Amino acid sequence: MIHCSTVWLIIILNKFFRSMKKVVAVLAAIVLLSACGAKKPQGGLVNASYAGCENIKDPNAGFKCFNNKLSGYLAKEYRYPEAARSLGIEGKIYVNFVVESDGSISTAKVVKGLDALLDAEAVRSVQALPKMIPATFDGKPVRIQYTIPINANLK
């Protein structure tokens, strides 16, 4: 990182070494001065979090906590439709949804379905998720999209 004091050093050295072309000195000064006012990045994207996982500092551990809490909630919330149970249908349903910048869940839809009854219950379960802690980008809340598998097993 170039400090503002470096700019002043170049300007002073330029006075002593007149052989340097003025155009190069001016361009170097402009480039260096523009770095003095630049903001430092504040961390980039931080994924959404489920209540109880927000204080975990390690991103991988936080995401693992998020996935565990999410799948635990969906396992309790998902109610296997009786009509599908009698037909013996089981498998995975992939549901895409958005965690909004206020933490609410929106646009839940089936990406890869199994059966209309099972798909509708998967969407209902995802829409019933509690409000989450929104994702952030450079410290500001943003929308983020997830796709999750839901196992529809008869067991």
Mean pLDDT of the chain: 79
Alpha carbon distance 21, 105 (integer Å):
60
Instruction: Give the pLDDT of residue 53.
Output: 82
Does the pLDDT of residue 49 top 90, yes or no? no
Average pLDDT in the 98-104 region? 94
- What the block records as the tokens of 113 is 């379905």
Are the CB atoms for 130 and 85 separated by under 8 Å?
no
The answer on pLDDT for 108 being more than 90 is yes
Please tell me the predicted confidence (pLDDT) of residue 63.
85
Q: What is the pLDDT of residue 43?
A: 59
pTM score: 0.68
Confidence at residue 16, expressed as pLDDT on a 0 to 100 scale = 53
Residue 38 has pLDDT above 60, yes or no: no
Q: Which neighbouring-strand residues pair with 144?
A: 99
Span of 6-10, 77-81, 116-120, 133-137 with lowest mean pLDDT: 6-10
Work out the pLDDT band at 150, boundaries 50, 70, 90: very high
- Domains of the chain by range and CATH? 4-36 (no CATH), 45-152 (3.30.2420.10)
